Structure 1
Amino acid sequence: MGENIELTVYGAEVLCPSCVNLPSSKEQYEWLQAAIGRKFGESNVTYKYIDIFNPPEEGPYKEFAERVIEEDMFYPVVLVEDEVVGEGNPKLKTVYKALEERGLEPQA
């Protein structure tokens, strides 16, 4: 498998109002990287963290960051490619399933 899968986490330093007892977006981003690395090894996953209040100027990232704010989505919002696979408190099973659907295989 030669193609990279992009996993993007949209979040903020400030916890979302409904996520008071959860880790920060950045902590969940780092946790996802570690968990995916353990299950799939050093795989073909490219990770991006986007601060919703200070997104890069690149079109799709900026537009989705604005959508997270406008639609009051719970963050972090986790995307695998362009599919939302987690919001607020992402579930590993859901993220793993999305990665496997795109061809990643767990390491033995």
Structure 2
Amino acid sequence: MTKVSVVIYGAETVCASCVNAPSARNTYDWLQTLLPKKYPELDFKFTYIDIDRDTENLTDHDDQFIEQIKNDELFYPLVTMNDEYVADGYVQLKPLKRYMSEQFGVTDTTN
């Protein structure tokens, strides 16, 4: 079974550019429920990182993504899979499904 590490970076306050989008925590909860149902052949591990509070035990990838968010190069919530950028800001299903198909060769089983 292919392992997929999903990391959602966010903060308590809603991103200024994403006012009408779900919060980072809501995005984390949504993906944690959605992805295993749509892709049962993958072994998902989910992590939420608060960019303002979680500062210990971060990888270099984590630090780089957090720096890009703080420099307004990326928006939160930011979603990565296996340390690769997937989506940021207003995270939607269609780009996620495309990424899953391209990177892992899987299709949505719930269409």
Cα distance between partner residues in 2 of 1:42 and 1:97: 16
Counterpart Cα distance in 1 of 2:14 and 2:105 = 33
Q: What's the secondary structure of 1:57's corresponding residue? A: coil
Q: Report the equivalent of 1:92.
A: 93
* Larger CA deviation: 96-105 vs 72-81: 96-105
SS of corresponding position for 1:18: helix
Give the CA RMSD over aligned residues: 2.1
SS of the residue 2:42 aligns to: coil
Count of aligned pairs: 107
**1:49 aligned onto 2:73:** no
- Which residue does the alignment assign to 2:25? 26
For the 8 Å contact 2:36–2:44, the answer to whether it is kept is no
Aligned residue for 2:6?
Answer: 7
Q: Could you tell me which residue of structure 2 aligns to residue 83 of structure 1?
A: 84
CA contact (8 A) 1:5 1:46 kept: yes
Q: Residues 26-47 of structure 1, C-alpha deviation per residue, up to 9 Å, x if partnerless? A: 0011111222122113731111
Q: What is the DSSP-based 3-state SS (H/G/I as helix, E as strand, rest coil) of the residue aligned with 1:4?
A: strand
- Greater CA drift, 9-18 or 94-103: 94-103
TM-score, with structure 2 as normaliser: 0.79
Q: Which runs of 4+ in 1 moved over 4 A?
A: none
Percent sequence identity over matched residues?
A: 33
Offset of residue 105 of structure 1 = 4.6
3-state secondary structure, aligned to 2:18: coil
Contact 1:9-1:77 at 8 Å conserved across structures: yes
For structure 2, list consecutive stretches of 5 or more residues without a partner in the other structure.
none
